[in-house]
């Protein structure tokens, strides 16, 4: 059944359903069980240092967090599980500069019975050098912790149990 | 590389006056989140007011984990800029956050602790809570590189002359 899930569609609903990523303008480039790629177009609101024209480190963390949680949803298959983030660590290799989109890629490194381990990488559109890298871990909870309608909310086509998810 | 020939006198002014306004002016994302800098009897207190645009899960509702992280990182940077013995520009080396509870749509408070201030490096811990400071929603720690303003700004030599 999991090969029927359109993960690009599901994760697009996911990032548009979250008010912060919806407002930020985040979108999904590709998504599947082997990983996700997302893109955040440039906005002046993302600056963390006007004097040096650098993007806020918190924007980088927010983008990596979104991609890492997204890849957990895709990677655990159908039905998806809600896995709370335990922790996230971000290493900053070089500053992210104003005026360019941020691109992020995330994938699962290990799935155990109780934890999902994830890593993410971030770079900018006009430069292939990595700006930052993240590692995170997510808790797997008993099946009843994920609401019965979550899979439908996330993956469903419009009209099929989509209440509560905001459309763009 | 970023342009280093920038005027950073706002940092010295903000630090000398203990006034976060100029530091916040330089940090649009922190302003977009709604971050406020207050004081209480125990010192500097950072506040993230409840805003719908800061939510991740809109159904619970819960604050976006990345927003919580960005709030805490901003708090650490602002606290550092205002606390340093001599004004220096911070650059984050790494940031690590532990999520202990979901952040509800209520104010989040954060306090920072400058664990170590060296010549070139600083280590900061941040604790964030909602109802009770003894029950944090998240804790974070970060290493920050500190660059002397003299080494960064071509105008600082003129100013210090």
- pLDDT at A145 > cutoff 90: no
Q: What is the mean pLDDT of residues B109-122?
A: 95
- pLDDT at A22 > cutoff 50: yes
pLDDT of residue A160: 39
- pLDDT at A148 > cutoff 90: no
The enclosing domain of A134 has a CATH number of 3.10.129.10
Complex ipTM value: 0.90
- pLDDT at A3 > cutoff 80: no
| Most A-contacting residue of B8, B29, B149, B151 (CB-CB within 10 A), to test interface | B29
pLDDT digits (tens, 9 = 90+) for A26-68: 999 999 999 999 999 999 999 999 999 999 999 999 999 999 9
Residue (of A82, A99, A101, A102) closest to A90 by Cα position: A102
pLDDT digits (tens, 9 = 90+) for B66-110: 999 999 999 999 999 999 888 888 999 999 999 999 999 999 999
- Is position A138 within any domain? yes
Contact A92 B8 (CB under 8 A): no
- pLDDT at B155 > cutoff 70: no
Contact A58 B70 (CB under 8 A): yes
Facing A87 at nearest CB: one of B10, B93, B99: B99
| In the block, residue with structure tokens 């929603």 | B137
| In the block, residue with structure tokens 């209440």 | A163
Of B4 and B55, more confident? B55
pLDDT of residue A144: 83
Residues of A in contact with B57 (CB under 8 A): 18
Residue pair A125/A101 in contact by the 8 Å Cβ criterion: yes
| In the block, residue with structure tokens 């899930």 | A5
pLDDT digits (tens, 9 = 90+) for A55-65: 999 999 999 99
pLDDT of residue B151: 54
pLDDT of residue B80: 94
- pLDDT at A2 > cutoff 60: no
Mean pLDDT of all residues in chain B? 89
- pLDDT at B158 > cutoff 60: no
- Is position A15 within any domain? yes
Task: Return the domain boundaries, chain B.
Answer: 9-160
Domain that holds residue A107: 2-155
- Is position A160 within any domain? no
Q: What is the mean pLDDT of residues B118-135?
A: 96
Cα gap A102→A128, rounded to integer Å: 11
Number of domains observed in the structure of chain A: 1
Contact B56 A20 (CB under 8 A): yes
Q: Which CATH superfamily is domain B9-160 in?
A: Hotdog Thioesterase (3.10.129.10)
Cα gap B111→B128, rounded to integer Å: 7
CB proximity A114 to B under 8 Å? no
């Amino acid at each position: 059944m999991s090969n029927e899930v359109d993960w690009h569609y599901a994760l697009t609903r996911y990032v548009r359903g979250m008010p912060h990523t919806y407002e930020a303008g985040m979108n999904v480039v590709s998504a599947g069980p082997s990983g996700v790629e997302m893109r955040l177009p440039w906005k002046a609101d993302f600056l963390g240092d006007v004097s040096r024209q650098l993007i806020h480190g918190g924007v980088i963390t927010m983008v990596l967090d979104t991609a890492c949680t997204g890849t957990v949803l895709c990677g655990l298959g159908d039905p998806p599980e809600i896995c709370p983030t335990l922790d996230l660590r971000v290493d900053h290799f070089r500053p992210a500069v104003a005026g360019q989109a941020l691109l992020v890629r995330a994938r699962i490194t290990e799935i155990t019975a109780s934890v999902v381990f994830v890593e993410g990488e971030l770079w900018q559109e006009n430069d292939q050098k990595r700006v930052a890298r993240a590692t995170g871990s997510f808790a797997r909870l008993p099946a009843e912790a994920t609401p019965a309608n979550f899979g439908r909310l996330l993956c469903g086509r419009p009209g099929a149990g989509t209440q509560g998810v905001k459309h763009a | 590389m970023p342009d280093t020939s920038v005027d950073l006198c706002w940092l010295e002014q903000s630090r000398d006056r203990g006034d976060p306004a100029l530091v916040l002016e330089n940090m649009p994302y922190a302003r977009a989140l709604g971050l406020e800098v207050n004081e209480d009897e125990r010192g500097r207190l950072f506040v993230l007011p409840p805003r719908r645009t800061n939510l991740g899960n809109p159904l619970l509702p819960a604050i976006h984990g990345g927003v919580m992280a960005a709030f805490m990182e901003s708090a650490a940077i602002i606290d550092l800029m205002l606390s340093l013995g001599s004004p220096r520009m911070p650059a984050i080396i790494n940031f690590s956050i532990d999520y202990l509870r979901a952040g509800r749509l209520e104010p989040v408070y954060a306090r920072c602790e400058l664990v170590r201030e060296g010549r070139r490096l600083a280590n900061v811990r941040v604790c964030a809570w909602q109802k009770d400071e003894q029950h944090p929603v998240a804790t974070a720690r970060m290493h920050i590189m500190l660059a002397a303003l003299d080494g960064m700004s071509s105008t600082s030599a003129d100013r210090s002359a």
